[in-house]
Structures are given as structure tokens and as C-alpha cells.
Amino acid sequence: MKLIECPRDAMQGWHHPISTADKVDYLNTLLQVGFDTIDFGSFVSPKAIPQMADTAEVLSKLELPAGGSKLLAIVANQRGAEEAVMFEQVNYLGYPFSISETFQLRNTNKTIAESLELVQTLQELCIKNRKQLVVYISMGFGNPYGDPYDAGVAMQWVDELAKMDVSIISLADTVGVAEPDIITKLFATLIPAYPQVEFGAHFHSAPHNWEEKVSAAYAQGCRRFDSTIKGIGGCPMAKDDLVGNLATENLLWFFQEQGQAVSLNQASLEAAQRMAERIFELSANG
């Protein structure tokens, strides 16, 4: 079981600035919890995502326990990737590959065809610099734009990525539209078809329907899940304040119900939860 905690996804579109000092304190606390990976920041244009402009500075101040959580940084183009691979502390580069043409243009200013070419470049950069590429299939369960979509479309693009030897692919429910049937179909088909690929789930969800999504993916063998403490965040490019991230607390409860052992430092987790309430001003904003 791999739990990927995503404070970057929580912070990137938050409605008030978060100081570098708060980011560093929060991330250092999360690094003590025992998550497999921390999606900590992104090397993207500060004009597009101002909240992530200090990612390099934050990274320089992190305290990484030996053998502890690995670090993942999101990139949106070759320039960002070239910057990210220069940091020894970064283990993974994550790239949002949308199978909705509309959203790919909105999110990275590239067509799907251009994005696929970039994936090949990113894969080569990662191999050269001893990193690993994680590709997120954005809008992986459907989209609200009317772009062509069915399970076959998603499978087609997974096949293209697998041909490039991308070994970690996370299916992302960017706007919370995924239904259990399509989740079941995709994971039930893809996991046995591509044994060389580690498939993950990155669900954005409203509070009332997170469990059916997690349950569907888990039942088909998915063992890599992204989440954020208290379900904070979502995708600022999707413009839907009602759809946040999957809450880490809910995910841990689900695994406990399944008898799935997850070993975390409870004291550090509780400290991170308290810190999140302060940094994100949850008591004031709900």
C-alpha cells in the first residue's frame, strides 16, 4: 500500500497566500508521518500558479529523514522538468497528461499530441537524472467539456504511455465526475493488462461520494492512492470549489475497515492536522 500525501495540491489554489515558513514547517511535519511519498511542490510558471513560486526555496529547507518519505514535484513543461531534476532530493517528477483536449490546453497550453511528445522528453530526462516519472491521466474518468470520452479512450492513452516505459500511471478524477462502474472497468482491465505499470488513483470528490470511488479502485487491486489531510484543495484550473481532494483521514478509515495495515506516526499525523487547520484557516473558513 502506497499513500501519497499531496500538500501541493492543497496549497496551489488556496485563496490566501501561504508563507514559505509555513510551507516548510508543514512539510517537515508531514515528512515525519511515514507517507510513502509527499507531493510537495511544482516547478511551474509563477504567473500560472503563484502559490508555488517558492518551491525551490522550500525544498532547500526540508529535513529528509534517512529512508523516509520520497518527494514528488509536478512539472508542466521541459523547462520545469530541467529545473526539477537538478535537485537530488526530488525522487519523482509528476506530469498531468489530460485526455481532454480542452483541459490539456487550459492546464499546460499544449495539445494532447504535443503533451505526448513532452512525456517522451520527460521520461528521457528522468532516466538520465535517476528520477522516476509519474504520469497523471487527468480527466481520466470523463470531462465536463464535451470532449470525446469512454473507457476505451483512457485505455488508448495508457497504452501509448506504457510503450514509452512509463512505469507509474495515476488515473485522476480531476473534476469529481467518476462513477464506480467506470472506475471498476478501468482498473479491472488495466492492472492485469500492464503488470509492469504501477497504477494509482487521484480522486477529487465531494464529501458524500468519496467512499464509493475508493472502494471501486481498491476492489480491483489499486494500492496507490493520493490524498490530502482534511481533503483540502482540488484543481484551480478546473474552477469547481465544491470538489476537493480525497481526505487522508477518510482514506485511513477505509483501510482500517478493510483490515489493510497502514503504519504511520500518529503523533506526527495529529500535529500535521492541527497545523493544517491553522495554515489553511479552517476554523474561519469552514
For 190-203, write each residue's pLDDT tens digit.
Answer: 999 999 999 999 99
* Model confidence band, residue 240 (pLDDT cutoffs 50, 70, 90): very low
Long-range contacts of 117-121 (CB under 8 A, 24+ apart): 118/77, 118/78, 119/95, 119/161, 119/164, 119/166, 120/164, 121/78, 121/81
Q: Which amino acid is at 139?
A: M
**Average per-residue pLDDT for the chain:** 92
For 252-281, write each residue's pLDDT tens digit.
Answer: 999 999 999 899 999 999 999 999 999 998
Instruction: Give a yes or no: residue 58 inside a domain.
Output: yes
Query: In percent, how much of the chain has pLDDT > 90?
Result: 81
Instruction: Give a yes or no: residue 13 inside a domain.
Output: yes
* Model confidence band, residue 234 (pLDDT cutoffs 50, 70, 90): low
Asked if the model's pLDDT at residue 27 lies above 90, the reply is yes
> For position 243, what pLDDT does the model report?
54
Instruction: Give a yes or no: residue 91 inside a domain.
Output: yes
| Whole-number Cα distances in Å, 276 to 7, 132, 233 | 10, 29, 12
Task: Give me the number of domains the chain comprises.
Answer: 1
Instruction: Give a yes or no: residue 285 inside a domain.
Output: no
Instruction: Give a yes or no: residue 185 inside a domain.
Output: yes
Using CA atoms, how far apart are residues 189 and 97, in angstroms rounded to an integer?
20
Range of the domain at 88: 2-280
- The answer, as to whether pTM is greater than 0.85, is yes
Q: How many residues are there in the chain?
A: 286
Side-chain half-sphere exposure of 179, counting CA atoms within 13 A: 6
For 87-104, write each residue's pLDDT tens digit.
Answer: 999 999 999 999 999 999
Instruction: Give a yes or no: residue 174 inside a domain.
Output: yes
Residue 215: give its domain's CATH number: 3.20.20.70
For 120, counting Cβ atoms within 10 Å of its Cβ (0-12 exposed, 13-18 middle, 19+ buried), the class is middle
For 109-158, write each residue's pLDDT tens digit.
Answer: 899 999 999 999 999 999 999 999 999 999 999 998 999 999 999 999 99
Instruction: Give a yes or no: residue 286 inside a domain.
Output: no
Residue 170 near residue 134, CB atoms below 8 Å: yes
Using CA atoms, how far apart are residues 12 and 230, in angstroms rounded to an integer?
15
Asked if the model's pLDDT at residue 239 lies above 70, the reply is no
Asked if the model's pLDDT at residue 179 lies above 50, the reply is yes
Instruction: Give a yes or no: residue 255 inside a domain.
Output: yes
* Model confidence band, residue 208 (pLDDT cutoffs 50, 70, 90): confident
| Buried/exposed code over 217-243 (b: 16+ C-beta within 10 A; e: otherwise) | bbebebebbbbbbbbbbbbbbbebeeb
Asked if the model's pLDDT at residue 284 lies above 80, the reply is no
Question: Closest Cα to residue 187, out of 232, 236, 224?
Answer: 224
